[in-house]
Amino acid sequence: MWACNCQGDLGTHRSLVSLGFFQLVGGDSPCSGRVEIRDGNQWKTVCDSDFGPKAANVVCRELKCGAALSVPGSAHFGEGVGPIWDRELQCAGHEPLLASCPRGSPRDQPCTHANDAGVTCTRFRLVNGSTVCEGRVEVQVLGTWGTLCASRWDLLDAHVLCRHLDCGFAESLPGGGHFGRGTGPVWTDSFHCDGSEAHLGQCPVTALGASRCSHENDAAVICSGSAGSMSLRLVGGGSRCDGRVEIFQHGTWARVLDDQWDVQEASVVCRQLQCGEAETAYNPPKAERGTGPVGLRGVRL
């Protein structure tokens, strides 16, 4: 039975990246932020109704940031200041540059900064799974998608990837070509995540150079699923950050069993719940272990 007592909070860092015609402002990496367009000598925010997934993919491609993970509106990255771009970006999605996209006529209805458009790109994806939350791990490097070698891929790295993809946390790391063999290059970079990072790009990384790693050893992960299909909670404690660990699967709350539960595993749960780091990890007395279905067993980091 898992239990933990957590404390603390996680901070964020904001960034700006500019490519001349457009810039992303207020994101936590060069691959996310509020979309602003340069018009003459002015930077103008873009209305969320004028910026869709196809335009977002063009932005991500131009930044060499992979593909669009989400296109949040409603000033997700904060409200801009100054003028607002008044034309729709009518991208087909294949354009090499955002400046190449056709533009619509000036908008009839006014837009406010409460509707500023944003984009979050990702250089990471899961391929060949039965759901979007499982599959072979692929990474885009300088515009080329390739698989990741599994020799140094671990559960902490996988937790960060699952959370970044809005897929909960990592349940297992199947090997042996479980999701088929990739066809592109095999990247041998080694990530050193501690589990608190928002995406793999924030993890320290060691570039290992050439390797004999083959597609038979492609990294893979099965994530728990999106927040809508599965979530975590701590019950029986003095606050939402203390108690017995349970997961929500298939419409019901279920227990998590592990005889070797320790602070490292507990810290992943605490971060997932935005409760900071684990203070203690313990097996509660038998009377407090709960009853009912078991959702997970023997998770290891």
CATH number of the domain to which 76 belongs: 3.10.250.10
**Tell me, what amino acid is at 37?**
I
Instruction: Kindly tell me if the per-residue pLDDT of 8 is higher than 50.
Output: no
Decide if 19 is inside a domain.
no
CA dist., res. 278 & res. 241, Å (int): 9
Portion of the chain with pLDDT greater than 90, in percent: 32
Instruction: Kindly tell me if the per-residue pLDDT of 223 is higher than 50.
Output: yes
Instruction: Kindly tell me if the per-residue pLDDT of 16 is higher than 60.
Output: no
* Tens digits of residue pLDDT in 63-106: 888 889 889 999 999 999 989 998 899 999 899 999 999 998 88
Decide if 275 is inside a domain.
yes
Pairing of strands 186-187, 144-148: parallel
Pairing of strands 67-70, 32-39: unpaired
Measured in degrees and rounded to the nearest 5, phi and psi for residue 169 equal -130, 165
Residue 202 in contact with residue 143, Cβ under 8 Å?
no
Instruction: Kindly tell me if the per-residue pLDDT of 4 is higher than 70.
Output: no
- Rounded to the nearest angstrom, the gap between the alpha carbon of residue 76 and the centroid of all alpha carbons in its chain is 16
Decide if 26 is inside a domain.
no
191 and 243 assigned to the same domain? no
211 and 130 assigned to the same domain? yes
Q: Helix/strand/coil (H, E, C) string of 154-174?
A: CHHHHHHHHHHCCCCCEEECC
CA-atom Rg of the chain in angstroms: 22
Residue 236 in contact with residue 229, Cβ under 8 Å?
no
Predicted local confidence at residue 14, as pLDDT? 56
Predicted local confidence at residue 115, as pLDDT? 94
Residue 174 in contact with residue 135, Cβ under 8 Å?
no
Last residue of a domain, one of 122, 146, 172: 122
* Tens digits of residue pLDDT in 27-42: 888 889 999 999 988 9
Decide if 21 is inside a domain.
no
Decide if 16 is inside a domain.
no
Portion of the chain with pLDDT greater than 70, in percent: 79
Q: What token pair was written down for 126?
A: 């899961």
Predicted local confidence at residue 300, as pLDDT? 44
* Tens digits of residue pLDDT in 112-163: 999 999 999 998 999 998 888 899 999 888 778 889 888 888 988 999 999 8
More confident residue, 251 or 220: 220
Residue 118 in contact with residue 73, Cβ under 8 Å?
yes
Predicted local confidence at residue 84, as pLDDT? 94
Residue 104 in contact with residue 52, Cβ under 8 Å?
no
Where is average pLDDT lowest: 89-98, 170-179, 212-221, 261-270? 261-270
Instruction: Kindly tell me if the per-residue pLDDT of 297 is higher than 50.
Output: no
Q: How many domains does the chain have?
A: 3
Rounded to the nearest 10 degrees, how much is the dihedral formed by the CA atoms of 176, 179, 182, 185?
A: -70
Predicted local confidence at residue 250, as pLDDT? 60
131 and 217 assigned to the same domain? yes
More confident residue, 194 or 253: 194
Domain holding 208, by residue range, is 124-223
Instruction: Kindly tell me if the per-residue pLDDT of 229 is higher than 60.
Output: no
Predicted local confidence at residue 2, as pLDDT? 45
* Tens digits of residue pLDDT in 257-274: 666 667 777 777 777 676
Predicted local confidence at residue 259, as pLDDT? 60
113 and 199 assigned to the same domain? no
CA dist., res. 30 & res. 122, Å (int): 10
Average pLDDT of the chain, as a whole number: 80
Instruction: Kindly tell me if the per-residue pLDDT of 228 is higher than 50.
Output: no
CA dist., res. 106 & res. 108, Å (int): 7
Instruction: Kindly tell me if the per-residue pLDDT of 298 is higher than 60.
Output: no
